[in-house]
Amino acid sequence: MRPLSKSPCLPPSKQKALGAPAFLKKKAGKGTCFMLTTALERDLGGAYAFQNNKMHILYEFLAKEAGVKKEVDCNDPEMEMELLDGGSVMLVNHSGRSKRVLLKGTKEKSIKLQPCCVALTAKGGNSCQ
């Protein structure tokens, strides 16, 4: 395995100074293996853990590397989003503040969620909170 020349989460100037964990990439046949030497669950396990957290950059990088495309997306990485059977989308605002988010998919829709609130959008675009 070799270190990636650029970390998807930190600029190169800060990687060494902050003692950033190693992020390794190894090609194997038609596939690629990645190894990150840190416990992501530890960093994401507390209340409001996603506030000001940049881990979404890592997940976006890995999805791009794997060629994964989202059917539905949200412009706020702090928002939990789940695509349900039948095309409905569940959004959960885990933050301590109100948020307006843009849900992108077949149609774009702006939704406002109160703190610790759930919104369910039907395939046709209706929502309830």
Both 10 and 58 in a single domain?
Answer: yes
Question: What's the total number of domains in the chain?
Answer: 2
For residue 81, give its domain range: 73-128
Both 61 and 82 in a single domain?
Answer: no
Give the domain-ending residue among 66, 99, 116: 66
CB 42 within 8 A of CB 51: no
Separation of CA 22 from chain center = 20
Both 81 and 122 in a single domain?
Answer: yes
Both 59 and 88 in a single domain?
Answer: no
Residue 62 CB burial class (10 angstroms; 0-12, 13-18, ≥19): middle
Averaged confidence pLDDT in the chain: 74
More confident residue, 26 or 20: 26
Dig out the tokens for 118 from the structure. Answer: 């759930």
Whether the full predicted model's pTM is greater than 0.85, yes or no, is: no
Highest mean pLDDT of the ranges 6-10, 30-34, 72-76, 108-112: 30-34
Give the domain-ending residue among 12, 47, 66: 66
Both 7 and 61 in a single domain?
Answer: yes
